[in-house]
Structure formats: structure tokens, C-alpha cells
Structure 1
Amino acid sequence: MLLRGGSTQEFNIEKLQIVEAEKKKIRQEFERKEKQVEVRRKIEYSTQLNASRLKLLQAQDDLVRKMKEAAENQLRNVGSSDNEDYPQLLEALVIQGLLRLKEHSTQLRCREQDLEMVQSVIESAKKAYAEKLNVDVPEVFVDEEHFLPGPPGSSNHGSSCTGGVVLATKDGRIVLENTLDARLEVVFKQQLPEIRKRLFPSGGQAGA
């Protein structure tokens, strides 16, 4: 009887150990699956969040692009022969280009439609440059054969220019693009952080 009782006790202990081991396995399997579900949930959330952020960034980029396009459209009016202030602006762009190059002899290109206007302001621009730097009046050769592209919409094979000039050193090694388009590009890049800040004061964050 003692042996039988001992055997029964040992059997019960062994059975209990097996049951506990199975319970442990079940718990571990449950925890593993629970972690998998949590990982999948986090991945799905992250994917959705990233997609939302990408959509928001795309919307922001589209708005900024439209602003730039609107500014470019305004430049067409600035560089138009109908604009009474354009000759003065053209002269200022020539002077600015000369001051940046600081060369005694330079070449200048413009749009064909601006040729007469450039020729009418070139002498005063040269004198203004000489007075500012207290140097001799420079030589500026206006290219009357190779012109900058015309305004947007004209037959210029895709490229266009809304106005302004391009200056180069006599040897052509240094080229300064001082067109209205180039000035807009420079200003836009410089002001882009401020533009985004004003358009999207909250930073445009999607989600937390």
C-alpha cells in the first residue's frame, strides 16, 4: 500500500509538472502571438503615418510650386515692353551684373525683343558702374546674333526667359545669369524656409 501510495503521489506530481509545463508553453505561445500582433499593429500604424506625412508633404510642395508659378506669371508682366519701369529695371540688372563681374571688358546677351532697350540703357549703365567703383568706363559688347529665349509661350523649344540679361567675361569662362528668372530662383531658394514657415506655421506634422 505504501508503495502504491508513493507511486500515486509521484504520478500526481509528474502529472502536475506536465500540466504546468503545458500551461507555460501555452502562455509563452500566447505572449509570442501577442507580441506579433503588437509588432504588426505598430508597423501598420507607422506605415499609415508615413503615408499621411508623405501626402501632407506632397500637398505642401504643390502649394509652394503653385506660388512659384504665380510669381513666374507675374514676371511676364514685369519683362513686358508694356511695362514703363522695365527699361530702368533692365539698366539696374546690367549695373548689378557689371559690379559682380568687375571686368573691364564683358559680353552681354539679352532677348531679341529687348535689344533696342538694352542698347538705349547700356551707356548709362556703364557710367553708373564706373562711378560706383571709381574706375574707367568698361567695354560691354552686346551680342546681336545670339539671343536669350523669348518669353513663355513663344516658339523657343521649351526654354524661355521673362527678361533680364546674361553677362560673361571676355574669355567666356565666367557667366553671370542676371535674368528675371534667375533672380526669382535665387530669391525663392533663399526665402523658401520663411515661405514654408508662413504657409505652415504648425510645421505641417501629420500625427504624433
Structure 2
Amino acid sequence: MNDADVSKQIQQMVRFIRQEAEEKANEISVSAEEEFNIEKLQLVEAEKKKIRQEYEKKEKQVEIRKKIEYSMQLNASRIKVLQAQDDVVNDMKEAASKELLSIGQNEHVYKNLLKDLIVQSLLRLKEPAVLLRCRKSDVYLVESVLGSAAVEYAEKEKVHEPEIIVDHVHLPPGPSHHHQHGPSCSGGVVLASRDGKIVCENTLDARLDVVFRKKLPEIRKSLFSQVAA
């Protein structure tokens, strides 16, 4: 084999080696690019997932804030409604309290009412001797019915007439523009046992309070049932 043949074979071998190297390099390049693309896709998906999770977290926070704000506004509205309802009821009670003053303007009616209140108090106390307290302006009316009240009680209970002592300490006067913020009494009586351990408050104001407490559910239902519906 001459030099030309040897040179030709060497060149063929070089070309073959170079071709293999190029093919191998291409394979490595393609493989590297595939791995890069896969890794890039994984990173992108991971970032997308992270962003989605972050968005969902913020979305939940926004929803929670909305619910809290709605709940606070709803509670505030309910409080305003309840306050408005209380104002209406209190206005009704105040109006009723003012109406009590008109009872004392009719002396005959008020005198009979005082007698009935005294008898009722005696029936509750069932004491042989009691202390009676009333407004200073009502003393003369109270004293005028004490005898008949004691007789009526004694007949109902079949006992001796009780001793009724009118206290020199009086209940507050009726409400007026001059004493708007001070204690007041629209009328009626307070009876107590001699030792003061048993007290029967039978003033018009106390009876109004009792009626309002008992009737308050009915009053609220009557006034506000349509609003609630």
C-alpha cells in the first residue's frame, strides 16, 4: 500500500471519527436541550402553582374580610334597629307615664283608686299594722279612705281592721318641668310592715313598670313584627 492509499484511509478514519463526534455532540446537545426544556417547564409549572396558591390565599383573605365587614355592618344595622325599637318603646312608656298624671286630676276617680290600691296592698302584706307612704299632695285623700279601706280588707280576710299609720316622710311629687331630672311619683301608695322587712310598692309608676315588663314581648311583636318579616 502506497502513501496515497494510506493517506486516503487516514482521511476516511478522520472523517468517520469526526462524524461520530459530531453525532455524539448533537445527541448531547439535543439531550441537554430536552433536559433544559423539561427543567424549565418544571420551574414554570412550579412558579405557576406558587402564583395560583398565592392568589387563592389572597382570594380567601379577601372573602374573609368581606364576610367580616358584612357581619360588622349587619350587626351595626341590627343594633341601630334595636336602638330605634327601644326608643319607640321608651317613648310609649313616657307617653303612658304622662297620661298617669291625668288620673289625679279627677279627684273622685283618684280617691277610689287610692282606696283600691291600699286594699290590694293590705291583702298582699297581711299584717296587723302597716306604715303607709304617699305624696304630700295626696295625704288628705288617703286619710279620707283609710277607714273604708281597712274595713274592706278586714271583711275580705275576716280579720280585725289593721292599724294604718301614715308616714310623715312622703313620696316624691309628680313630674314637672321644674324637676325633670329629679325623682318623681305620679301617684299611688307604698305600704310596709312596721319592721320594714316587707314592702308593697303600689304606686302608679311601679304598676306601669310591671305592666310594661309583662307586656313588652306583645308590644314589640305588635309594633315590629312586620318590620322583622
Q: How many equivalent pairs are there?
A: 203
CA distance in structure 1 between the aligned counterparts of 2:33 and 2:207, rounded to whole angstroms: 96
Give the superposition deviation at 1:4: 2.4
Change (3 A) 1:95 1:155: farther
Q: Which has the higher contact order (CA 8 A, sep 6+)?
A: 1
What is aligned with 2:176?
A: 153
4+ long deviations beyond 4 Å: 154-157
CA distance in structure 1 between the aligned counterparts of 2:51 and 2:225, rounded to whole angstroms: 52
CA distance in structure 2 between the aligned counterparts of 1:203 and 1:14, rounded to whole angstroms: 65
Give the superposition deviation at 1:203: 6.0
Structure 1 gaps of 5+ residues are none
Cα deviation 1:153-184 (Å, max 9, x = unaligned): 17667111111111010111112111111110
Larger Rg over CA atoms: 2
Structure 2 gaps of 5+ residues are 1-25
What is aligned with 2:112?
A: 88
Q: Alpha carbon RMSD of aligned pairs, Å?
A: 1.6
- The answer as to whether partners of 1:79 and 1:164 remain within 8 angstroms in 2 is no
Residue 67 (str. 1) matches residue 92 (str. 2): yes
Cα deviation 1:47-85 (Å, max 9, x = unaligned): 1111111111111000000000000000011133x3431
Match of 1:35 among 60, 64, 67: 60
TM-score (norm 2): 0.84
What is aligned with 1:127?
A: 151
Q: In structure 2, the residue corresponding to 1:121 is in which secondary structure?
A: helix
CA distance in structure 1 between the aligned counterparts of 2:157 and 2:227, rounded to whole angstroms: 45
Q: Which has the higher helix share?
A: 2
Structure 1: which amino acid aligns with 2:187? G
TM-score (norm 1): 0.92
Q: In structure 2, the residue corresponding to 1:167 is in which secondary structure?
A: strand
Structure 1: which amino acid aligns with 2:77? S
CA distance in structure 1 between the aligned counterparts of 2:198 and 2:178, rounded to whole angstroms: 28
Give the superposition deviation at 1:8: 1.7
Q: How does 1:53-202 map to 2 (within 5 A)?
A: 53-80=78-105, 82-143=106-167, 145-153=168-176, 158-202=182-226
CA distance in structure 2 between the aligned counterparts of 1:19 and 1:155, rounded to whole angstroms: 83
What is aligned with 2:15?
A: none
